[in-house]
Amino acid sequence: MLECDFCTGVDPRWRYPTEPSGAWHACQPCHELIAAGLWTELAARATTLTYSPHWNMPEDQDAYDPAVERQRDHAWAWFRAARQGPAVKLGRPRRTWGLFPRRPAPALRGGARAGRESSRQ
State the pTM of this model: 0.63
**Domain ranges (residues) in the chain:** 1-89
Q: pLDDT (tens digit, 9 = 90+) per residue, 104-121?
A: 555 555 554 444 444 445
What share of the chain has pLDDT > 90, as a percent? 31
Q: pLDDT (tens digit, 9 = 90+) per residue, 11-61?
A: 899 999 998 878 999 999 999 999 999 998 998 888 777 554 555 555 555
- In 3D, which of 45, 49, 24, 25 has the Cα closest to residue 33? 45
Helices and strands counted in the chain (H then E): 4, 3
Phi (first) and psi of residue 112, to 5 degrees: -65, -40
d(CA 61, CA 68): 8
CA distances to 24, 29, 55 from 12, in Å: 10, 10, 18
d(CA 43, CA 68): 11
> Which amino acid is residue 50, in one-letter code?
T
- Count the residues in the chain: 121
> Sign of torsion, CA 18 24 27 32?
negative
Q: pLDDT (tens digit, 9 = 90+) per residue, 23-33?
A: 999 999 999 99
